[in-house]
Structure 1
């Protein structure tokens, strides 16, 4: 890699960089003698064992032995590649990377990224100008209660209903238009017309930590589906790694005490307008582990506040499960449960900022929220239910890195079950595990179970299956049930899950369907269709591989007919192309 970026430039970057300042902007260091110390960010560290030397421009952990320079720290802490860490340091110092002449791809990628930053920023400014020139957009924002100051603070814009209208109104030059097309910021539709995917939408620019515009969220001002869309991913925008509003929060406070995570762009803006200036959004209901890491890099306490509908409640529970591995003695989460059919935007308008602050102060601790949810539907007078509770709770508890928190939650679980002695608790779990096959089935999800569960929970997915014939003679366990349900869904295209279960009420498979109808597959709504298709493809490939194995075994013993030889050739081709 050093041959691709000149060594002198890398050395110059490290010379210019003070590793203490670099690390201190991310984790708080304390001076101790000639060095600086803190708890290690790379493992669960009870006492400070992470040491940073100003003199050596080097860090080292005496606990996990991780070590390195400023570049290594960015690679390990920010999950960057080597090139990205060089870009990060170069950006801090306002330098361009002088790639060697014979290295084409890295140089091109780097300058393409810089050009993409520039174009995204330029069109963002045009969107901002356009919102002022468009009455319907201004009226929508005013009606939502967003002030002009907030429009400026969050750089809110608007994309006109057609590109021609937008282009003429803002005098966009053909050369700039061509660049936008080349970088796929706008596109050409089937009618050979230039098209902006955000047209007719309020634009919410998404910024990185340096304030660069990396992408956009768009909200329709008419009854157009979907209500919200985001930019497609580019080499500067990855939705799973972006936090909306974090740049604005950090402008006011580099290390906020809390970060309040809400679902929507407007929720962030309205709460900020009401002096709650530590609000961010994960760009939707589903948070990712990358976003959790970013949140905890910027604060020690994350407060999740989701909408009061069922989707919001389910999202909050999924979020806790994703967050658990990142909780420690110093890093924690809380939850705000809003009333039914309320979101942060509506409730702060009804109750006022002071009452919303009270909700924040009274947010449920992680442990209370955890047991509130995991106890749903549990009959504590039933030993089977107590065991089922343990089967569900313990894997989640055990993924927490902190020994203290794990022990604390296990003790609460034992008290709920009614066992105060640790030995008796372990004995109870061991005895029940050996004689409870149903719960063992519930705790394991095969591909086929997930596939059928998705279909039972979303019968309209049946329309995505283009051919049933290729599964008809499959030997894979569960295929007959899948095909049976698929046939029913296709014959009854308006069926929902309740209707499907009712259809099979007195059948032999009703208990299986009931179980799968409540299976927590942990797949977010916008990923259900792609996951369903991926599972179909995977199972079809597995089916081909089983047939391939059978034919290969037969060839070694009895030989194959001409028809079977053609079949195995066809299977090999299909597997290769799958």
Structure 2
């Protein structure tokens, strides 16, 4: 934690967080006994192997070994770093992170400044739309109503920057922040100006609704036609989806997401009650975009113009998406008529006909082979070979065995492999053999079992005998056990997730994680007895070793008075066994 965030705060944050609720907003969990299960989001999982424990506030996948607490889940699932995960949980619970004041240039505080400034600028842009004839004319021409202006916070950057900037009313410190992040610029004469000046503004929001950047559309033929905010600590085009916040406001887990190309497309379709529309920010789709989309739905429907550029873009998108397709995650495609975009065609056809286009979207397999068969003559052996050479590497990028085999089956029949033996050979000769990564194994010992029991059931600390008599015993692993035991005693309501968090970035965290998910093969009713028995057996074995040593010493050269007293007390303790 590098001393940046107090441990007590992280423990409190995890105490407030229900890991089941957190994960269930992102995945669909089903109750299974006292735990919850679902298909693992971190590997291709045919049967549910991802388990979430409410009692331990911990998750574990029996397939790929992914595991951890609420912080780890956000780091793995949403690709956040440690501080970003803490920030995410803090926002959920509405509390501020108490960073240590000694940390200079804290990225968290820089980001808070940017959020504050973006919000102020957005409000001014939004107010400005009402007083600008040019902007209103444009919106009227595009048939965008007042509800959509408010819903998407559409604004306008004033042609009169000086007047606009005065209304912003910010300190020199904040002005410097805007300059550093290229949100405003300085011209040759030394005057500050807005890079969006004279443009319709489309605020870009993150999943919490915070303004992270802007898209600007030129109204006076200034090039480029569309302009996005520069990259900052809070804005990364490769990871941002426009309209996703608005979709999630209406439906937390949408059945599908319709991906279009422009801001206006999103707004117009939403106005026509197509409520699952998002877009990338005028950029080609990235792997980050695809992962984010699949985190929010099982079906992505890409909508492209029907011209050659649109078809080529759709094909490139499919190739990028193939590695992320699974038995539950798939994509479809809509190719619009030439010279049409979603905004224009829904105005011509109306909602009902456009919804029919969505319902009849081209499936992934059909779209894949439609593109593969371009310029291919299936009567030509050379073309069949060329088809196989082009198609197989792409099919092999799909992680799902089922889908991969299904596409190969279609391909085999296309190139004329109908014989069962030939088909089997074709089907599997190119199969990449997946060797399961050998997990690090550690030997089971009574001490490790004891530590595992305590990690998985921190409340056992309450029934442990006084630790004073254990402190001077020389047993491997005992200092670790006693330290964890003391931590549990100091924090009576601590759970597994919180306990492990206290040891993040320590030398023993890896072994503790292994022990925390060990199958100890002990029924619930016997856990307390087993814990106490193990503890006393370890204590007695140490006493027996000391007893044997003292007896041997007495035979050879005799014992001192204090050693005689010690052997007497050992004999007394062992007689109570």
Q: TM-score, normalised by structure 2?
A: 0.72
Q: Per-residue deviation at 1:4?
A: 2.5
- Residue 66 of structure 2 corresponds to 66
User: Larger relative contact order (C-alpha < 8 A, sep ≥ 6)?
Assistant: 2
What corresponds to 1:264 in structure 2?
Answer: 262
Corresponding residue of 2:413: 415
Partner of 2:371: 373
State the match for 2:329 in structure 1. 331
Deviation at 1:289, TM superposition (A): 0.7
User: What is the CA–CA distance in structure 1 between the aligned matches of 2:427 and 2:18, rounded to whole Å?
Assistant: 53
What is the distance in 2 between the residues matched to 1:40 and 1:212? 30
The match for 1:345 among 310, 319, 343 is: 343
Distance 2:329 2:158 in 1: 44
Contact 1:259 1:278 in 2 (8 A): yes
Per the TM alignment, residue 178 of structure 1 is displaced from its structure 2 partner at its CA by 5.4
Contact persistence 2:182–2:230 (CA under 8 A): no
Aligned to 1:424: 422
- CA–CA distance in 1 between the matches of 2:407 and 2:302? 20
Equivalent residue, structure 2, for 1:79: 79
What is aligned with 1:102? 102
Match of residue 203 from structure 2: 205
TM-aligned CA deviation for residue 84 of structure 1: 1.1
The aligned runs of 1:389-408 (5 Å cut-off) are 389-408=387-406
Matched, 1:217 2:218: no
Would you say the 8 A contact 2:409–2:427 is kept in 1?
no
Whether the aligned pair in 2 keeps the contact of 1:390 and 1:429 (CA below 8 Å) is: no
Matches within 5 A, 1:114-513: 114-167=112-165, 170=167, 172=169, 175=172, 177=175, 180-181=178-179, 183-421=181-419, 423-424=421-422
Give distance in 1, aligned partners of 2:311 and 2:20.
42
For residues 251 and 200 of structure 1, what CA distance do their matches in structure 2 show?
30
**CA distance in structure 2 between the aligned counterparts of 1:124 and 1:139, rounded to whole angstroms:** 20
Q: SS in structure 1 opposite 2:234?
A: coil
Q: Does the CA-based 8 Å contact 2:303-2:335 persist in structure 1?
A: yes
**Deviations for 1:135-171, whole angstroms, at most 9, x for unmatched residues?**
0001001101111110111000011234225336x47
Distance 1:165 1:395 in 2: 58
What residue ranges of structure 2 are gaps of 5+ in the alignment?
430-577
Structure 1: state its 5+ residue gaps. Answer: 432-578
Question: Does the 8 Å CA contact 1:303/1:336 hold for their aligned counterparts?
Answer: yes
8 Å CA contact retained: 1:207, 1:247: yes
2 CA distance for matches of 1:423 and 1:134?
73
Question: What SS does structure 1 have at the residue aligned with 2:200?
Answer: strand
- Distance 1:82-1:422 versus aligned 2 partners, 3 A rule: farther
Summarize the alignment of residues 497-536 of structure 1 with structure 2, pairs less than 5 Å apart: none
SS in 1 for 2:337: coil
TM (normalized to structure 1)? 0.71
In structure 2, relative to structure 1, the CA distance for the partners of 1:430 and 1:364 (3 Å cut) is: closer
Structure-2 residue corresponding to 1:22: 22
> Structure 1 CA distance, aligned partners of 2:238 and 2:223?
22
After TM superposition, give the deviation of residue 100 of structure 1 in Å. Answer: 2.4
Kept in 2, the 8 Å contact 1:387–1:429? The answer is no
1:430 CA drift (Å): 12
Distance 1:369 1:209 in 2: 31
Q: 1:42 to 1:321 in 2, by over 3 A?
A: same
